[in-house]
């Protein structure tokens, strides 16, 4: 019964790696976001240079039943350009902070991409035929002399090489004073929210000249500012419900039906601090870097610097589960503060609703059973909620052979280092995995290192 | 981020045995405060700095200030600071990372307003702290050469020193109530407080930022080792030795 046990029963194998082999990383190539579309056929990445690269999964080859389709480049386009804010004398980075796909309604695909200030709706469409046989034009476009036209014909479509075109259909600008950290599409598929450090706005996908401010935590006196918004997401099923997390480790759930401006939360999720663990860095490490609802919407997951927490929406006073990502870093917080690593924003994601897991979930309460998140040294971690087992894997070119099962890694926190273990002091803090994504339907994961995208799949027997 | 392992730690402990361990926690807390202020100052003039990061650092500064005020050590720092204060005092703050549970066998909680004399012995026992910036129990190998270094401060510190001094001047005020005092030197006529808190300092020039390449910048997380602070740590140890 493959996959029923979750993370550790899945044997992850290297499938592909995309990106430059060089150790010298070009700044523009740094991957800043990764997202599968709703079917999993497309995988989008955004980078610091403002580009979006979309990969498409090959149709499964019936004869090659032992591997799933490979992902190949489908479309590349420049989503955002650097801008200059003349009023503040500051550059606005073109880095893509988030990409979110819309569900597919027709032949074209749509996605939202955002940098710090502007959100854009992109249409990605295929063109694989073109009209030929015009009466007034030659094939090369030159106009014919009308006097030479003796017969009339109806132009017909003829096949051509596939061309994928990306065009910006909407530009949602000038609504954010601070840096956008999140976008989330509502379950009504008509509206979406965008969140910056202090405000959250609600947009209609068709309307670009207007947005509604639904959360505003900017104090009247900026000197009193002690807390910012770090992430926000709509509930997967309830179109009037959304959550936002803060730099103080709290999550607020808001209902848009309660009032126009959701400054008063409906629920406040916060775990009381452990007084024995208190230090000057307590607040910083409690800052939530990502929040994700489970598939059913009954749970949500938050990522802070050292852990992943699962919350039951019906219980505000503490998480139902906590998983330690890299607890061995707790004694190194000062150094991590000094080199700014303590401010790294790790994301987290749930497993997809794998068909086998779906069956198993009849016995459990939720399809969301496995949590994945990144760490340093190009390590990433998975936690299985059912078996309570966890695994550490590494995204590296050394495990390059397809269908080679990845070897689990272990970090030695203190004491004698066993063979194959890595000591904390040998970890490379420049190699961080901040962005990971899980295919919505299959056991395929995309893991972004600084400038490479790794694709792993489970070993199919 | 690999840390050098300093040799002769045991000899050093012997040397410093006579020195009171009490400054150790304060020293490190001061160092954390200095580091935080440097981080707030350092901003990329080109791109707006990360507000979340600035707020978290500012909150850390406030916490330290509050604790120091409760301690009564706030006044002590005022008398201690000299022209060379800031940059040189960036010693290890690893002791601050430890939870109160780890600090002491005797369970004396150094939370707010108290600290423990056994810090130094704990530090010696904790062999896994090689990641720290430097251990404050390290002494200079050659007292003589380090004193000489003290008298000839590195040239490229000059400009930065000036702006940090401006910050520390405000700290030395009799009643430094808030983080906002730090910004009092700045001409805010042009910028509103929004911009202030996002790190735009009109008195910080690119040159200052350049001279601090050993410190991480807000948007560049691919940083650094701290050779410079090692040297400064030694300077500071000398300061302690000389003063005692």
User: Of chain A residues 442-461, which have a CB less than 8 A from chain B?
Assistant: none
Assign A182 to helix, strand or coil.
strand
Question: How do strand A90-92 and strand A83-85 relate by DSSP bridges?
Answer: antiparallel
Q: Is the pLDDT of residue B195 over 60?
A: no
Q: Is A230 in contact with B2 (Cβ distance < 8 A)?
A: no
A187: Cβ–Cβ under 8 A, 6 or more apart, which residues?
A234, A235, A236, A237, A238, A239
Phi, psi torsion values for A49, nearest 5 degrees: -85, 5
CB proximity A91 to B under 8 Å: yes
For chain A, helix, strand, coil in percent to 5 are 10, 40, 50
* Rounded CA separation A328/A429 (Å): 13
Paired tokens of B199: 């790190």
Distance CA A262, CA A49 (A): 35
Both tokens assigned to A42:
């497309």
Partner residue facing A339 (CB), from B58, B179, B223: B223
CB contact (8 A) between residue B216 and residue A222:
no
Sign for the CA dihedral angle at A79, A373, A323, A40 comes to positive
Residues in A 399-418 with any Cβ partner in B closer than 8 A: 413-414
Q: With a cut of 70, which residues of chain A have pLDDT below it?
A: 1-8, 61-67, 354-366, 399, 461
* Res B174: pLDDT: 30
For A35, phi then psi, to 5°, come to -155, 130
From B130's Cα to the closest Cα of chain A, the distance in A is 7
pLDDT at B169 over 70: no
Higher pLDDT, B137 or A437: A437
- For residue A41, give Cα distances in angstroms to A101, A266, A353, B126: 12, 37, 15, 51
CB contact under 8 Å between A279 and B96, yes or no, is yes
Tokens of A351: 């497993």
Residue of A nearest to B220 (CA): A340
Strand (E) or helix (H) holding B143 = helix B143-151
Q: Alpha-carbon distance B65 to B173, whole Å?
A: 13
Q: How far apart are CA A305 and CA A300, in angstroms?
A: 17
DSSP state of A29: G
List of chain A residues whose C-beta atoms are within 8 Å of the C-beta of residue B52: 197, 228, 230, 247, 287, 343
Least confident of A376-390, A436-450, B148-162, B228-242: B148-162
- In a 13 Å sphere around the CA of A213, the CA atoms on its Cβ side amount to 12
- The pLDDT score that the predictor gives to residue A358 is 52
Classified as helix, coil or strand, B171 is: helix
What integer pLDDT is reported at residue A139 of this predicted model?
Answer: 81
Cβ–Cβ pairs < 8 A, chains A and B: 149
Q: Strand pairing of A290-293 and A42-47? A: unpaired
**Contact: A222, B194; criterion CB under 8 Å:** yes
Cβ atoms of B45 and B209 within 8 Å: the answer is yes
Flag if A341 and B130 touch (Cβ within 8 Å). no
B96 → closest Cβ in A223, A280, A283: A280
pLDDT band at B190 (very low <50, low <70, confident <90, very high): very low
Percent of chain B with pLDDT over 90: 11
Cβ atoms of B215 and A339 within 8 Å: the answer is no
Answer whether A337 touches B (CB < 8 Å): yes
- Residue B61: closest CA among B22, B31, B25, B86: B31
Q: Do B96 and A334 touch (CB under 8 A)?
A: yes
Host H or E run for residue A121: strand A119-132
Contact B2 A425 (CB under 8 A): yes
Task: Please say if the pLDDT value at position B6 is more than 90.
Answer: no
For residue A332, which residues of chain B lie inside 8 Å, CB to CB? 94, 97, 131
Query: pLDDT of A252-261, one tens digit each?
Result: 999 999 888 8
Q: Do A343 and B129 touch (CB under 8 A)?
A: no
Q: What residues are paired with A124 via a beta bridge? A: A109, A166
Strand partners, A114: A98, A119
Q: Please report, for chain B, the start and end positions of each structural domain, with discontinuous segments joined by +.
A: 21-70
Q: Who's near B155: CB < 8 A, 6+ residues apart?
A: none
CA distance A456 to chain B (A): 26
Residues of A in contact with B99 (CB under 8 A): 276-279, 330
Whole-number average pLDDT of chain B: 50
Mutate which of B31, B91, B131, B219 to disrupt the A interface (most A C-beta within 10 Å)? B131
List b or e across B168-187, with b for residues whose CB sees 16 or more CB atoms inside 10 angstroms.
bebbeeeebeebbbbbeebe
Which of A:6-65 have CB within 8 Å of B? none
Select from B48, B97, B133 the Cβ nearest to the Cβ of A281. Answer: B97
Backbone angles phi, psi at A28, to 5 degrees: -65, -20
Residues 255-314 (A) with a CB less than 8 A from some CB of B: 275-281, 283-284, 287
Looking at beta carbons, which pairs linking A387-396 to residues 24 or more positions away fall under 8 Å? A387/A5, A387/A6, A387/A7, A387/A8, A387/A9, A389/A6, A389/A7, A389/A8, A390/A7, A390/A8, A390/A323, A391/A7, A391/A8, A393/A12, A393/A456, A395/A433, A395/A447, A395/A449, A395/A452, A395/A454
A348-350 sheet: strands from edge to edge: A348-350, A370-374, A379-384, A390-394
Count Cβ atoms below 10 Å from residue A38 Cβ, excluding itself. 13
The reply to whether A151 touches chain B by the CB within 8 Å rule is no
Q: Which pair of structure tokens corresponds to residue A356?
A: 């086998």
CA-based nearest residue to A118, from A213, A215, A203: A203
B31 has a pLDDT exceeding 50? yes
Please tell me the distance in Å from A229's CA to the nearest CA on chain B.
8
Strand-strand pairing, A421-423 and A410-412: parallel
Contact A284 B2 (CB under 8 A): no
State pLDDT tens for residues A235-272: 999 999 999 999 999 999 999 998 888 888 899 999 99
Cβ of B51 and A228 within 8 Å? Answer: yes
Cβ of A217 under 8 Å from any chain B Cβ?
no
Q: How sure is the predictor about B111, in pLDDT bands with cuts at 50, 70 and 90?
A: very low
Q: A82, A304, A334, A411: best mutation site toward chain B, by most B Cβ within 10 Å?
A: A334
Task: Please measure the distance between the N-terminal and C-terminal CA atoms of chain A and give it in whole angstroms.
Answer: 12
CA within 13 Å, CB half, A201: 25
Residue of B nearest to A82 (CA): B47
**Using CB atoms, which residue from B29, B51, B99 is nearest to A178?**
B51
Chain A residues lying within 8 Å of B92, measured CB to CB:
334
Please tell me if residue A220 touches chain B, with a CB cutoff of 8 Å: no
Pick B60's closest partner by Cβ from A223, A227, A280.
Answer: A280
Cβ proximity of A280 and B96 under 8 Å: yes
pTM tops 0.90:
no
Burial environment of residue A413 by CB neighbours within 10 A (0 to 12, 13 to 18, 19 or more):
middle
A331 vs B contacts (CB less than 8 Å): 94, 97-98, 102, 128-129
Three-state DSSP at B178 gives coil
Residue reference for tokens 């090692």: B230
Q: Across the strands, what pairs with A108?
A: none
Tell me how far apart the alpha carbons of residues B134 and B28 are, in angstroms, rounded to a whole number.
Answer: 11
β-pairing, A31-36 vs A42-47, is antiparallel
pLDDT of A448: 98
Is a pLDDT exceeding 60 seen at residue B113?
no
User: Nearest CB to A335: which of B131, B191, B196?
Assistant: B131
Nearest CA in chain B to A429: B1
- With an 8 Å Cβ cutoff, are B47 and A332 in contact? no
Report yes or no: B101 and B118 within 8 Å, Cβ to Cβ: no
Q: Please name every residue paired with A3 in a beta bridge, in sequence order, or none if there are none.
A: none
Record: contact B97-A414, CB cut-off 8 A: no
A101-115, B21-35, B65-79: least confidently modelled range: B65-79
* Cβ–Cβ < 8 Å for A218, A198: yes
Nearest-Cα distance to chain B for A350, in Å, is 25
Enumerate the residues of chain A whose CB falls inside 8 A of the CB of residue B3: 425
User: Please, are residues A199 and A213 in contact by the beta-carbon 8 Å criterion?
Assistant: yes
């Amino acid at each position: 019964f493959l996959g029923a046990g979750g993370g550790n029963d899945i044997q992850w194998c290297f499938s592909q790696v995309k990106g430059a082999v060089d150790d010298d990383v070009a700044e523009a190539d740094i991957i800043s976001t990764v997202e599968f579309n709703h079917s999993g056929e497309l995988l989008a990445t955004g980078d610091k240079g403002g580009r979006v690269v979309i990969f498409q999964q090959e149709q499964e080859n019936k004869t090659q039943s032992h591997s799933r389709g490979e992902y190949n480049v489908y479309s590349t386009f420049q989503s955002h350009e650097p801008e200059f804010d003349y009023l503040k004398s500051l550059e606005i980075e073109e880095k893509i902070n988030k990409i979110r796909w819309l569900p597919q309604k027709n032949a074209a695909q749509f996605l939202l991409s955002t940098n710090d200030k502007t959100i854009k709706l992109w249409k990605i469409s295929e063109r694989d035929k073109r009209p030929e046989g015009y009466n007034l034009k030659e094939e090369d476009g030159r106009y014919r002399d009308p006097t030479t036209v003796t017969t009339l014909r109806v132009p017909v479509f003829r096949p051509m090489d596939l061309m994928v075109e990306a065009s910006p259909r909407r530009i949602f600008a000038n609504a954010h004073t601070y840096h956008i950290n999140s976008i989330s599409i509502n379950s009504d598929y008509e509206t979406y929210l965008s969140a910056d450090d202090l405000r959250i706005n609600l947009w209609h996908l068709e309307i670009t000249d207007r947005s509604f401010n639904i959360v505003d935590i900017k104090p009247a006196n900026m000197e009193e500012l002690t807390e910012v918004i770090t992430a926000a997401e709509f509930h997967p099923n309830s179109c009037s419900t959304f959550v936002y997390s803060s730099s103080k480790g709290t999550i607020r759930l808001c209902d848009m039906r309660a009032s126009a401006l959701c400054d008063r939360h409906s629920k406040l999720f916060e775990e009381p601090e452990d007084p024995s663990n208190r230090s000057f860095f307590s607040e910083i490490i409690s800052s939530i870097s990502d929040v994700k609802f489970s598939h059913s919407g009954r749970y949500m997951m938050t990522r802070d610097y050292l852990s992943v927490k699962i919350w039951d929406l019906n219980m505000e006073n503490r998480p139902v589960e906590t998983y330690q990502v890299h607890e061995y870093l707790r004694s190194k917080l000062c150094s991590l503060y000094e080199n700014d690593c303590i401010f790294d924003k790790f994301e987290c994601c749930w497993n997809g609703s794998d068909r086998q897991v779906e069956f198993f979930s009849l016995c459990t309460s939720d399809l969301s059973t496995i949590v994945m998140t990144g760490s340093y040294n190009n390590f990433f971690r998975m936690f299985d909620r059912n078996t309570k087992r966890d695994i550490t894997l590494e995204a590296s070119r050394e495990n390059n052979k397809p269908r080679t099962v990845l070897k689990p890694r272990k970090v030695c926190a203190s004491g004698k280092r066993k063979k194959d273990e890595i000591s904390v002091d040998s970890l490379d803090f420049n190699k961080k995995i901040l962005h990971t994504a899980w295919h919505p339907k299959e056991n395929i994961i995309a893991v972004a290192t600084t400038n490479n995208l790794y694709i792993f799949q489970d070993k199919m027997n | 981020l690999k840390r050098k392992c300093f040799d002769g730690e045991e000899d050093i402990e012997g040397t410093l045995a006579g020195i009171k361990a009490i400054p150790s926690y304060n020293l490190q807390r001061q160092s954390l405060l200095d580091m935080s202020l440097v981080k707030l100052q350092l901003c990329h003039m080109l791109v707006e700095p990360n507000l979340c990061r600035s707020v978290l650092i500012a909150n850390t500064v406030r916490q330290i200030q509050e604790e120091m005020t409760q301690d009564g050590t706030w006044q002590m720092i005022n008398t201690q600071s000299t022209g060379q204060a800031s940059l040189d005092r960036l010693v290890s703050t690893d002791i601050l990372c430890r939870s109160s549970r780890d600090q002491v066998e005797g369970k004396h909680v150094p939370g707010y307003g108290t600290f423990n004399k056994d810090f130094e012995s704990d530090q010696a026992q904790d062999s896994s702290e090689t990641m720290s910036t430097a251990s404050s129990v390290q002494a200079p190998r050659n007292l003589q050469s380090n004193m000489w270094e003290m008298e000839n401060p590195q040239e490229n510190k000059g400009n930065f020193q000036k702006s940090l001094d401006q910050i520390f001047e405000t700290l030395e005020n009799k009643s430094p109530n808030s983080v906002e005092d730090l910004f009092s030197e700045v001409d805010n006529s042009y910028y509103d407080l929004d911009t202030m808190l996002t790190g735009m300092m009109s008195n910080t020039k690119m040159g200052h930022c350049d001279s601090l390449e050993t410190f991480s910048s807000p948007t560049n997380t691919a940083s650094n080792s701290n050779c410079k602070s090692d040297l400064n740590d030694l300077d500071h140890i000398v300061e302690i030795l000389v003063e005692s």
